[in-house]
Amino acid sequence: MLPDVPHSVLVAIIVLIVLHAFRQRKTRSTVPLPPGPPRLPIIGNLHNKPAKFEWETYADWGKKYNSELIYMNMAGTSLVVTNSRRVTSDLLEKRGSIYSSRAHSPMVHDLMGFTWLFAVMPNNDGWRVRRRLLQRYFKFPVEDSHNIANVKLTWQQPHETKYINYLLKKLTDTPEFFMEHLIHMVGSVSLSTTFGLPIKGVDDPYIKLSSTGAEGLKQATVPGAFLVDAFPFMKHFPSWCGFQQKAKLWHEDMRAMLDIPFGDSKKQWQNRGKVEGKAGSALVSFVSEALDDIYSSDTPDLQQEEFIKEICGTIFMGTVGTTSGVMHVFMLAMVHHLDIQKRAQVEIDSVLRGPDGKLRLPTHDDEPNLPYCTAIIKETLRWLPIAPIAIPHLSTEEDVYEGYRIPKGTIVIPNIWAMLHDPEKYPNPFAFMPERFLNKDGTLNTELARDVELGFGFGRRICPGRHLGSSIVWLAALCILTTCDILKARDENGNIIEPGMELESAITAGPKPFKCTIKPRSAETEELIKQSAIDADYIGL
């Protein structure tokens, strides 16, 4: 999109664009660039870059130009889209040493101030330090595989259980607010595990901070969204320019999201120590464990404390929007497929109903015995991926791949949507078909299930917090299926309201608000929901 600037400035911009283009060093090579849409002199593909749902356009271009690699140029900046899992793995995993960095964004880094954000940092020592700290305190496995199914986390499960139990009660008491309830549940788990902060039952101010803090980043990280990223000199434009005003507002939202929860968590940690006479006796969380370590020394490492705050901001902001978005997609899928719900509930009843005939809520230990339910989660990730394009990588060296030149400094955009809608790997790709992830004997096809975790990234930039998000989604979805029916809503005349399938168009793209009816499956599950909320009160966190 063009920045919102007065027309009187456009002539100056055009002149500067021309001068900038002539200053670009052009690498002469006999090796061709990958195919792509036609480019104009100087501005390249600025005129024909898709304005929304770009992942669909990129996939169409791949078919049109018969290539798994698509090349674009944004006024001197090279972009390459990878439309297949094979090519993406070859570049970002097998050649990860030169494709593991991130591009510097004048909008995101210089104007909005996201220099600290783990996900958009370049591959440097600062990034590696933060990654090690995150793995240390969150006890995430270090491996770079996508095999989440075999990763068993236990430390965060009481947090999940507590707030998912509360969720079930909310879904049946006020089902019309189910989307807000799901966001609140995910935010509560994130707040509890990360900061150990008290959480309000509704309209929690900390959870609101995560949403507002992430909104600007969602818009600004879409490649080509702001001309200032192609022409860095524009960051010196007057503050009244539209993109400058947006950057200022988003910067303020970011600082509030970064500073307020951590500051309150640290005060809680300090105050608990004063009251109980024991330093660091606050609720166990990422912050409390880190501060215990830092201040156990006579010379606390204040730089490490700052790193911890930044990691907390990364986890908090990253978990709430993406994980709740996956849950929204799950609910949308269930509304459209009552038959799939019923099949899942038959499997659930066969596993979770005890010898006494009573039904219980699932735990993660039940996962191996619930392959069809797990397949539903995998199909949810594939059907409408919450991250249709991954956070772009940056090539740090000139490269040649399968006869095509990829210039140094190219922004590489993995098209997750295209990979997960490949008809050769996923026949009838637009249909919601959990059975595609099952073997003939009904067991889970673990190889195919691993491959849909693409939204968590690739190679060295794979999301280290992916296990937490996946754990929340699995348990929450299974608890909902165990206790509730998710049906199409009806209007005041009894007519069915067909839920929309419209998605947001952003770096993370969840479904837009839709209506559904949520009710307990039976009197038995209604009682189970009530008891689960009572049990949640006794989970000591």
- Binding site for heme, by residue number, is 463
Q: Distance (Å, rounded) from C-alpha 187 to C-alpha 472?
A: 11
Q: Distance (Å, rounded) from C-alpha 525 to C-alpha 189?
A: 24
Can you tell me whether residue 519 is helix, strand or coil? strand
The label of the residue with tokens 């909310």 reads 170
Alpha-helical (H) ranges within 452-498 are 466-483
Give 79-82's long-range contacts (Cβ < 8 A, gap of 24+).
79/45, 79/223, 79/224, 79/392, 79/410, 79/411, 79/412, 79/413, 80/34, 80/406, 80/410, 80/411, 80/412, 80/413, 81/412, 81/413, 81/414, 81/415, 82/412, 82/413, 82/414, 82/415
Pull the structure tokens for residue 140.
Answer: 């995430």
Query: Are 408 and 395 contacting, i.e. CB atoms less than 8 angstroms apart?
Result: yes
Q: Distance (Å, rounded) from C-alpha 304 to C-alpha 201?
A: 33
Q: Distance (Å, rounded) from C-alpha 328 to C-alpha 314?
A: 22
Q: What is the DSSP string of 92-106?
A: IIITTTTS-B----I
Residue 139: CB partners within 8 Å, gap ≥ 6? 153, 155
Binding site: residue ranges? Answer: 463
Q: Distance (Å, rounded) from C-alpha 361 to C-alpha 372?
A: 17
Nearest to 452 by CA among 364, 376, 363: 376
Give strand ranges (E) for 381-492: 393-394, 399-401, 404-406, 411-414, 484-487
Q: Distance (Å, rounded) from C-alpha 74 to C-alpha 222?
A: 13
Query: Are 381 and 49 contacting, i.e. CB atoms less than 8 angstroms apart?
Result: no
